[in-house]
Amino acid sequence: MSTASPHLELERALCTEGFRWVGAIDEVGRGSVFGPCCVGVVVIDSSVTTFPAGLRDSKLLRSQSRDALIEPLREWVSDVAVAQASAREIDEFGLTAALRLAGRRALAALTLSPEVIILDGAHDWLSRAEDSLLAPPYPEVEVASVRTRIKADVTCASVAAASVFAKVHRDQLVTELARGAPGYDIESNKGYATPAHLAALRRLGPSDLHRVSWKLPQRSGPAATNEEGVR
């Protein structure tokens, strides 16, 4: 497992620019074929100098380590929220718009409004909302200036914290949803396209909680029909 450790260099640099409330956002579930995508947002203030021991990007942590970090992180951040967009919303609006929808829902759930936002990745999918009748019903929320940073979930402590909150939230949510979709081993694969999950899709077809607009395997066997393929 990687020993990469995050730091607060970008957060401190933003504070020296005059920002007090620094937001950080990360998403989970982008590559899943089942269930929602989730977006976590945290807000820290300019006084922070350290962060909880063991904090890493959620993908670099075992589930027990992520769970153990939740309470220390709640004490560390000034505010936190996690929101999601459902599989049906992903199918209807597309993944980028669904991520934007989840991100704005998370921002709307905050008590503190960030003055600047660090966003993991190279693309600002949060603030660039399309003006279209087919766009999702975005919450009316102010989106602060966004600073994108590739691998921010690895290098920025605040973004790593957002990733942990989002991952723990989504894992719990998907485990609950799995009760309504037996046979796909969602409890273990969390909706990602493992060989066993793909085999179950070929055997059972997609459930109501799968992202049917994605390129899922065709259901095989005598029960398969044209309507059970992927659109």
Q: Kindly report, residue by residue over 79-112, the tens digit of the pLDDT.
A: 999 999 999 999 999 999 999 999 999 999 999 9
Distance (Å, rounded) from C-alpha 114 to C-alpha 23?
A: 5
pLDDT of residue 212: 94
Average pLDDT for 134-161:
94
The pLDDT, as a whole number, for residue 4 is 67
Residue 29 predicted with pLDDT over 70: yes
- Confidence check: pLDDT of 225 > 50: no
Distance CA 111, CA 97 (A): 24
C-alpha dihedral sign at 114, 10, 153, 211: positive
User: What's residue 3's pLDDT?
Assistant: 57
3-state secondary structure of 60: helix
Q: Return the pLDDT at 229.
A: 33
pLDDT band at 123 (very low <50, low <70, confident <90, very high): very high
Q: Confidence class of residue 165 from pLDDT cuts 50, 70 and 90? A: very high
Pull the structure tokens for residue 15. 């504070």
Contacts of the segment 101-106: beta carbons below 8 A, 24+ positions apart: 101/136, 101/138, 102/27, 102/36, 102/37, 102/38, 102/39, 103/25, 103/27, 103/39, 103/41, 104/138, 104/139, 104/141, 104/143, 105/39, 105/139, 106/25, 106/39, 106/40, 106/41, 106/81, 106/82
Residue 118's SS3 state is strand
pLDDT of residue 128: 77
Describe the crossing of helices 63-76 and 157-177 by its angle, rounded to 10 degrees.
Answer: 120
Q: Give 36-65 pLDDT, tens digit per residue.
A: 999 999 999 988 989 999 999 999 999 999
What domains are there in the chain, each with its CATH number? 9-179 (3.30.420.10), 183-228 (no CATH)
* Contact in structure between 219 and 45 (CB atoms under 8 Å): no
pLDDT at residue 226 tops 50: no
Which residue is listed with tokens 């980028």? 96
pLDDT at 231 over 50: no
Q: Name every residue whose Cβ is closer than 8 Å to that of residue 178 and which is 6 or more positions away in sequence.
A: 184, 186, 187
For residues 60-73, average pLDDT: 97
